[in-house]
Amino acid sequence: MAIVAVKDLIEAGVHFGHRASRWNPKMRPYIYGKRNLIHIIDLRETLRGLLRACKYLNQIASQGKTILFVGTKRQAKETIEREAARCGMPYVSERWLGGTLTNFRTIRSRLQRLRELEELESSGQI
């Protein structure tokens, strides 16, 4: 399993966190230090997390389960679409609708209602 090197993470700027004044104390184990009022992320912890995520995703994929790729930032769009297509998995690269996963029953019913309204409109009933 190919994983990125610390050098690659540094070049990508992964080690730059938020302003130290905005931090959450639960993040303490993942913070290496502080420079110019910005927290520096501990890249060793980042690599551990990436390895753990890779192992889990390999396990899920080997079981034939679906993995949803999500990346709504402009700079992630192309990569998300390309990699999801390469894996034959679904993706979201546009705006994420809150509750899509946690409130799916309601979203599904609203989509059904939208279809009904569109049919009524196309038939001229409304």
- Is 38 a member of any domain? yes
Residue 89 lies in a domain: no
Flag whether 103 is in a domain. no
- Domain residue limits at 35: 1-64
Any domain includes 85: no
Any domain includes 29: yes
Residue type, 30: Y
Predicted TM-score (pTM) of the model is 0.70
> Is 42 domain-assigned?
yes
Task: Report the number of distinct structural domains present in the chain.
Answer: 1
Span 28-71, pLDDT tens digits: 999 999 999 999 999 999 999 999 999 999 999 999 999 999 99
Residue 125 lies in a domain: no
Q: Which residues of 54-70 are buried (b: 16+ CB within 10 A; e: fewer)?
A: eeeeeeeeeeeeeeebe
- CB neighbours of 40 closer than 8 A, spacing ≥ 6? 15, 16, 17, 31, 32, 33, 34
Task: Give the C-alpha separation, 110 to 12, whole Å.
Answer: 41
